[in-house]
Amino acid sequence: MLRIANIIIISVVFIFSQMIFGQCIQNTEFDETIPKKDLRGVFLTSIFNLDWPTNRLATPAVQQAELIAILDNLENNNYNTVFLQIRPECDALYNSNIEPWSYWLTGAQGVAPNPLWDPLAFAVTEAHARGLDLHAWLNPFRVRSNVTTYTASPNSILNTQPTWILTASNDIKLKILNPGIPAVQTYIETIVQDIASRYDIDGIHFDDYFYPNGGMTTNQDYQTYIDNNPTNISSIEDWRRNNVNTMIEKVYDAIQVVNLNQNKNIVFGVSPFGIWKSGIPTGISGNSSFFSLYCDPIKWLNDDKLDYLAPQLYWQITGAQDYLSLSKWWNDQVKIKNKQLYVSQAYYRMTDVSDWPVTEIQNQIIHNRTTNMDATFGQIAYRYSSIKNNDKIINTTLKNTQYLYKSFAPPILGIGKDIVCPNIPTNVRIDGLYLKWDTPTIASDGDLPVKYVIYAFDNATQALTNQDDGSKILDIVAGNQLLLDPTLIDTKYFVISSLDKNNNEKGDFTQPLLTIKNQSIENNIILYPNPFTEDFVIYSDSNQLFGQIILEIYDVSGKQVFSLNKINNSKELKLNPNTIQNGFYLIKIILSNGVTKTFKLIKN
């Protein structure tokens, strides 16, 4: 370990409460302005090749490289969750036996990538390797957008089930699956069940494409209403809302079956249009989910058929669609049902005609973290291109302020959700410049950690008092080691906690890794480990240790007990003075330029 010390510091922490040791950490935030449980999501849009892949004719290798660059960028800017659009138009950016390969992936619907690869499997693996969660984003009903012009493949639902298709009354190009047909609802359920069963995704996500916005004025589904209304719902509008409710229920229940049978924890959420009903809350006006798209997110909440809501609040603070009023109203509805709110935010408005300043995004995030937003646990950026282009220096701004420290998405609570904590990592240690740990044993529910949270505290007491302090998170990683800045090893006490597939956290904050203060010779020569047992290394990232090196070790009486005179050809000098006894020593090094350096060493 990189430890150089003048004295050995022995810290003993007495623990009187067993409730602290190794329990799941579910406390409130230490500082809500710096939350450690904060979903920071990004919508990665595939339709129209907006975000990824930006070139549908590119080779798989190019598309893979582009996706890796995106994930690296998100990790670097302290986001933690990706919402990848894998089904924009009843197609598949994954290897499906049900729907055709997407035009937006290969340039021709129904044509597989060549060489064959599975983008969703690849994205899951690469996201998880970076400590990112990945949710599969699906458009449930849309078959063709209003600007789509490509030829549908023979196995497109347009050709195989033409009687399932509705055309929007306000745009003949916009095609959707008819939600009133029971077979359509079952079809979507089957699609979701297939994805949830075969991929190690963290969530299934729907956006706000249900009935077309304002596109049902001709009642083109009237005959479907007559033929498929077994409970005699009195109005076609209520019947439409019931169709969407039924589909949402089927999807949620199907996911729970997969979770139970395969020990998964896939969560389900929706990003509805940001206004439920015009006039609610007071002062809000505009189109609404309830009347324009015939969907009722409050009904889904009341029926416990989703895990979170992420309403699209693509408006600014103040005005007829005031962000503050709407987000607070949604927060309060979600809180009633003990669910979670992640607000969908309009990054794109920084560069469209709205020309938002970056402070608008900042102020929305600040508001999301206020005390009265007590069911809000993060936000999702629409969309990635703003991050890619660093619009209005959004990346620099957030990473220096609201996204300064890493965070992880909070665990989803409720019936059927994983509440068993993972076991804590073992053998936490410092090896050279690396902090390392071993994977623990499998928890009682069969889970291993999927990632680890690394904390750096100033002292052992702070590890107990500040374990929920987001500013103490050094990093969140999927592997079993972290490269450290030597100055951190000099000054910090480290705790590693485990996160499982539901982001349940468990760590032992009672026994942080105690690091004896390192002492450097100038600023670029260090020695480790100190204390040492058998051997130690003197290291410099410059060329100071090259050439003729004379080294002498003296005990506390001034007696020389070890000497070395050699030509050194590397940045490090490894020594094994096995003849000396435990105790304190003084080392003197004469460098090739004649400069002499001295420091203290402990053998223990």
Residue ranges per domain, the chain?
Answer: 9-36+419-514, 39-144+153-214+234-399, 525-603
At residue 394, the pLDDT reads 98
Bond prior to 272 in cis (omega within 30° of 0): no
525-603 is a CATH 2.60.40.1220 domain: yes
Cα separation, 393 vs 77, in Å, equals: 12
Question: What's the rounded mean pLDDT across residues 449-475?
Answer: 95
Q: Give me the torsion for CA of 175, 180, 181, 184, rounded to 10°.
A: 60
Nearest alpha carbon to residue 340 among 308, 295, 378, 296 = 308
Rg (CA), the chain: 29
Mean pLDDT of the chain: 91
What's the whole-model pTM score?
0.84
Phi, psi dihedral angles at 362 (to 5 degrees): -55, -50
Mention every residue, 6+ apart, whose C-beta is less than 8 A from residue 594: none
Closest alpha carbon to 173 in 133, 142, 199? 142
pLDDT the model gives residue 572: 87
CATH, domain 9-36+419-514, list 3.30.70.20, 3.30.1360.10, 3.40.140.10, 2.60.40.10: 2.60.40.10
Asked whether this chain's domains 39-144+153-214+234-399 and 525-603 adopt the same fold, the reply is no
* pLDDT category of residue 16 using cuts at 50, 70 and 90: very low
Secondary structure class of 276 (helix, strand, coil)? coil
**H/E stretch holding 127:** helix 119-129
What are 563-590's pLDDT values in tens digits? 999 999 988 888 989 889 888 788 889 9
- Cα 474 to Cα 426, 448, 492: the distances in Å are 19, 22, 11
pLDDT tens-digit readout, 364-397: 999 999 999 999 999 999 999 999 999 999 999 9
CATH of 39-144+153-214+234-399, one of 3.20.20.80, 3.30.365.10, 3.30.420.40, 3.30.70.270: 3.20.20.80
Spatial distance between the Cα atoms of 297 and 294, rounded to a whole number of angstroms: 10
Per DSSP, 64 falls in state: H
Compute how many other C-beta atoms are within 10 angstroms of the C-beta atom of residue 174: 21
HSE at residue 498, side-chain half, CA atoms within 13 A, is 26
Look at the block and give the residue holding tokens 């005959």: 223
For residue 433, which amino acid is it?
L
**Residue 332 φ/ψ region, left for φ over 0, alpha for ψ in the -120 to 50 degree band, beta for the rest:** alpha
Give yes or no for a contact between 244 and 140, defined as CB atoms under 8 angstroms apart.
Answer: no
Count of other CB atoms within 10 angstroms of residue 55: 12
Eight-class DSSP state of 312: B
Which of 580, 582, 423 minimizes the C-alpha distance to 496? 423
Q: What is the DSSP string of 438-483?
A: E--PPPTTS---SEEEEEEESSHHHHHHTTT-GGGEEEEESSSEEE
Q: In degrees, to the nearest 5, what angle opens at C-alpha 146 toward C-alphas 141 and 148?
A: 95
pLDDT per residue as tens digits for the range 494-546 = 999 999 999 999 999 998 987 544 444 455 788 877 778 888 888 887 888 89
Cβ–Cβ under 8 Å, residues 94 and 120: yes
